[in-house]
Structure 1
Amino acid sequence: MSAVAWTATGSLAAWLWLLLGQGFFWRTDVRLPPREEPDVWPSVGVVVPARDEAAVLAESLPSLLAQDYPGRADVFLVDDGSSDGTGELARTLAERHGGLPLTVGSPGEPPAGWTGKLWAVRHGIGLARARDPEYLLLTDADIAHEPDSLRRLVAAARGGGGKGYDLVSQMARLRVESPWERLVVPAFVYFFAQLYPFRWIARKGARTAAAAGGCVLLRTDAAERARIPDTIRQAVIDDVALARAVKGSGGHIWLGLADGVDSVRPYPRLADLWRMVSRSAYAQLRHNVPLLVGTVAGLAVVYLVPPVALIAGLATGSRAAAVAGGLAWLVMTATYLPMLRYYRQPLTLAPLLPGTAFLYLLMTVDSAVQHYRGRGAAWKGRTYTRPDPTAPEPSPEQP
């Protein structure tokens, strides 16, 4: 057999493994666990870090304030140095819509060794703890919640198969309206699930740990045990780092796809989506060049080789290359269909997954290039480079 045929056969073998041996990552039926509403509802502190979010806050914050929750719940929006009037708008929305009580705070600029978001989260948790909540809901400023969202999250956390969960996270349904969003966004969630199979995350003995930062319900004592957010203060991919810290300290965690939790942030252009992915892709690879090379090679073999082998095989008369490439592409396409259904997108997009994977490959390489140019993970006027292991521990008296 030719080199192309052998490579295509390797790709087919990889896809058969992914189909059956990677936690059935491609299925979209991992939703909130079975739950039974408690007799007494625990108190919850809702922490919302926000930096220059005036454009989306009018769609998201009222949904939090309108939560139909039987217990006590307080919302703490932390204005992280916004220049667009985010804090003032939050107060106006609370006065206009009513609902859950809202506190708006501001921690000032983050000290060295902290990302802005986690510094804001720390301040918000400090405000919430003054009310002694049993749970903390960490949610982003662009996330809209259905009225029963908090109620369902708490009930699921209290149930947890009879044992309860220390962390329950839902991956918010991202916006898919523009052509680029339809092409890139479902694939983003598909790739994430491939890296962190949801079924493995809930296993206590498994090493796999991840969360989705837009919606994380966290038991307060579990946060204290894992020293959240202090232990992850430099993390750019803070949701995965948070889940690892909680699970590493003995916590039981769960992550699944959301119903009734939606991102309202638009990414209408390819450039917007490119920045979203590239700002953290190289951090995901721990700023490691060999890992970057291996990832690029893996993406090429798994996603790009199948269509190339099929076309090359048909063009050269290599039946082995065409058959192996075609079967690998078919398995790839089949595993992507459930995610497209979840996002209510045309199934005809499924065969285009190799092209989307190529875009992600380029975004990953660009992320590394930006890092070595000194731009790191840039977000809303701040740039984060490789975490500094010598950064000082935060003092206990800080809020």
Structure 2
Amino acid sequence: MRHTATVSALLWICAVSLLAWLWLLLCQGYFWRTDVRLPPGAEPARWPAVAVVVPARDEAAVLPRSLPSLLAQEYPGRARIFLVDDNSTDGTGESAAELGRAPGGLPLTVLSAPEPAPGWTGKLWAVRHGIERARETDPAYLLLTDADIAHEPDSLRALVAAAEGGGYDLVSLMARLRVDSAWERLIVPAFVYFFGQLYPFRWVNRRGGRTAAAAGGCVLLRTAAAERARIPESIRGAVIDDVSLAREVKRGGGHIWLGLAERVDSVRPYPRLADLWRMVARSAYAQLRHQPLILLGTVLGLALVYLAPPAGLLTGLVRGEGALALTGGATWLLMAGSYVPMLRHYRQTLWLAPLLPLVAALYLLMTVDSAVRHYRGRGASWKGRTYPKPAAGPAADEGAHTSDERIPRAAPEQP
């Protein structure tokens, strides 16, 4: 009797999971597709001025692989780079200045930011100093890009052409993350897959839609839109600053666009599981607004959507329950199939697709660990700084998304 009840309950759970996957695949903005790429734009008659702002904290190791790509931008208009050294201890500022001495590149200004004021995250405090100095050059656009992001020579040109041609106030590209180590190949494509599930790019790009998101590694922002949205002051306490930035721009009436990058790459390595674990755990609980009930719902949702199908298939095969095995297997197949386009985008073997439940389980554990860290007083931490739960208010409410997604929140900010 107990055996029958257990099988029956698991069959119902797998059936609900199957319905959930059908809904996700058909009604969640086709998040699994990877064809949302930078739209081509006609070259403007006059190229607008651009200021590139790069916050950098202890980035001396990656700057030689990223900063030269910005210096080498083939941009027809006026452009200047402002790199803000955020209290680095590894010679980041000196390294940047040395790289900037190479002849023929865009002009580079290296700034030093003081320690963040109360209520500010270190990155946004550095961005604030960079934008303040950049405004002296009267730029029409600000390119906010991380110190570990490498750009192809035509990247800035393509971003501006897309913004001008489409009338966008914000254009953001999800940089292609590094997938060299075994752990990176297993976990990184799923990061982008989960991000797209949370923030379907087609919904983000829809005029008048409520979903707002950006990828913080590469954001081209119209200066007028930044001023209307009071960027970065309005998001000064946001740990997940890219989504908060997009939300504020869209809330101010701006038109935003987000898609996958083909010629913008992250050069930061995450060779070990521990490196990736820290990257996710540092902000995952902030994504859930530091709410235990949302955490519980996320854990249950991930278990239902990702873990129940393989459990149903294996249990059905072991116990000879054909209906259970069929339901669990069909759901697992749908799940794996939806992951194939992202694996192709990252040029990875398709044999990784059936491992998506394992990766989801790892992200689940990372999210729980993020909550444990928070309640132990370690909060969201990055490079020697720890940020406690922010006070209530518009600047701190980085988790109060305006999107209408109804799936578990599990993806952290872009590394």
Q: Tell me what 1:357 maps to.
A: 360
1:9 aligns with 2:15: yes
| 1:150 Cα deviation from its structure 2 partner | 0.1
CA distance in 2, matches of 1:376, 1:327: 40
| Deviations, residues 310-341 of structure 1 (Å, cap 9, x unaligned) | 00011112222111100100000000000000
CA distance in 2, matches of 1:215, 1:34: 17
Percentage of matched positions with identical amino acids: 73
| 1:97 Cα deviation from its structure 2 partner | 4.8
SS in 2 for 1:31: coil
CA distance in 1, matches of 2:139, 2:52: 9
Q: Tell me what 2:314 maps to.
A: 311
Match 2:269 to one of 263, 266, 270: 266
Match 2:279 to one of 260, 266, 276: 276
Match 2:110 to one of 104, 107, 112: 104
CA distance in 2, matches of 1:5, 1:107: 58
CA distance in 2, matches of 1:17, 1:156: 32
| Deviations, residues 13-67 of structure 1 (Å, cap 9, x unaligned) | 0111111110000000000013111110000000000000000000000000000
SS in 2 for 1:61: helix
| Deviations, residues 314-371 of structure 1 (Å, cap 9, x unaligned) | 1112222111100100000000000000000000000000000000000000000000
Please report the TM-score for the alignment, with normalisation by the length of structure 1.
0.96
Superposition map of 1:166-177 within 5 A: 166-177=169-180
CA distance in 1, matches of 2:284, 2:191: 12
Match 1:56 to one of 39, 62, 66: 62
Q: Tell me what 1:255 maps to.
A: 258
SS in 1 for 2:172: strand
CA distance in 2, matches of 1:74, 1:388: 36
CA distance in 2, matches of 1:154, 1:318: 58
- How many equivalent residue pairs? 390
Answer whether contact 1:31 1:257 (CA < 8 A) is retained: yes
Answer whether contact 1:112 1:391 (CA < 8 A) is retained: no
SS in 1 for 2:101: helix
CA distance in 1, matches of 2:100, 2:291: 45
SS in 2 for 1:187: helix
Superposition map of 1:184-263 within 5 A: 184-263=187-266
CA distance in 1, matches of 2:384, 2:309: 40
Answer whether contact 2:145 2:216 (CA < 8 A) is retained: yes
The aligned amino acid for 1:146 is: E
The aligned amino acid for 1:199 is: R
Q: Tell me what 2:92 maps to.
A: 86
Structure 1 runs (4+) greater than 6 angstroms displaced:
390-393
| Deviations, residues 136-162 of structure 1 (Å, cap 9, x unaligned) | 0000000000000000000000011xx
CA distance in 1, matches of 2:45, 2:154: 17
Deviates more, 1:357-366 or 1:314-323: 314-323
The aligned amino acid for 2:354 is: P
SS in 2 for 1:258: strand
| Deviations, residues 234-266 of structure 1 (Å, cap 9, x unaligned) | 000000000000000100000000011000000
Q: Tell me what 1:150 maps to.
A: 156
| Deviations, residues 147-200 of structure 1 (Å, cap 9, x unaligned) | 00000000000011xxx0000000000000000000000000000000000000
CA distance in 2, matches of 1:272, 1:309: 32
Alignment RMSD, CA only?
1.2
The aligned amino acid for 1:129 is: R
Structure 2 stretches lacking a partner, 5+ long = 1-6, 397-415
| 1:391 Cα deviation from its structure 2 partner | 11
| 1:389 Cα deviation from its structure 2 partner | 3.3
